[in-house]
Amino acid sequence: MHATYDETITRALDVFEKVHRDTPIDGLNWIFDHAETISARSIDRVAALGGGIAFQHRMAYQGEYFVDRYGAKAAEATPPFKRVLEAGVPTSAGTDATRVASYDPWVSLSWLVTGKTLGGLSLYPQRNLLDRETALRMWTEKATWFSNEEGKKGQIKVGQLADLAVLSEDYFAVPADRIRQLQSVLTLLGGKVVYAAAEYAPLGPTLPPPMPDWSPVRQFGGYWKADSAGEVPGVTAKIAANCGCAHACGVHGHNHARAASAALPVADLKSFWGALGCACWAV
């Protein structure tokens, strides 16, 4: 279930708990997507019902909007990664396709580790930041619970699917601010090379143009990556294009949070858009 705010999650849990009393739902690997403002009480209720929570890196793109509306203090645990992990709730990271964030996992991993938006705003205190291994496991091993593929993929080990990538730099060694500049130079799917670049380029197949036609990979020849000096020509356009929703989706675009504020109370958590720009089961 896609739910951004705790008000929505609370309503859903009221129903889930009633259903659970007659027809148990623990063991179904059911989840909430997004959950940026989920409360501690709701986290414990999810844990009791055997649910999971999948986080996306929307705040990496829209953290400034959230702070403008609700203040920096409210943003310190939006979403509350550490509290969810401490409760033992299955937790993963992802993108929600093109609806919430970019396909590029390194934007998410950078955000989880540094707590910074693409604009450079530091959102989280150290207590709500993740170490690099925990963040990476949320994108790999931990994600398999959500697709009922535990033990089949997510780790490089005998018996699991031979899907892996060789990176442009060492994720565990680069400065934290360079994590989002990482990219694959060699990608294997089922043990076969499906993408190759840099020195591995001769090993790769000829690929068709990326789809859909508004894809930033198609427009700019790859995801937004700074050069060695940290500069990117046309950076504003690339930031917008790096998240597909800016082009394809009239609901989750990047500008409506500010545009809507002229007509809606900017501090109203229950306004249709909200600062997170999502009408998923809107409150």
Give 116's DSSP letter.
Answer: B
Residue 29 confidence (pLDDT) above 90: yes
**pLDDT tens-digit readout, 177-223:** 999 999 999 999 988 999 999 999 999 999 888 888 887 778 777 77
Binning pLDDT at 50, 70 and 90, where does residue 259 land? Answer: very low
Residue 55 confidence (pLDDT) above 60: yes
Neighbours of 153 (CB within 10 A): 16
Percent of the chain whose predicted confidence (pLDDT) is above 70: 79
Q: Cα(205)–Cα(227) distance, rounded to whole angstroms?
A: 26
Asked whether 80 and 128 are in contact (CB, 8 A), the reply is: yes
The average pLDDT across 32-45 equals 97
Return the minimum-mean-pLDDT range out of 67-81, 184-198, 212-226, 263-277. Answer: 263-277
Return the minimum-mean-pLDDT range out of 121-125, 144-148, 178-182, 251-255. Answer: 251-255
Residue 93's closest CA among 127, 140, 154, 25? 140
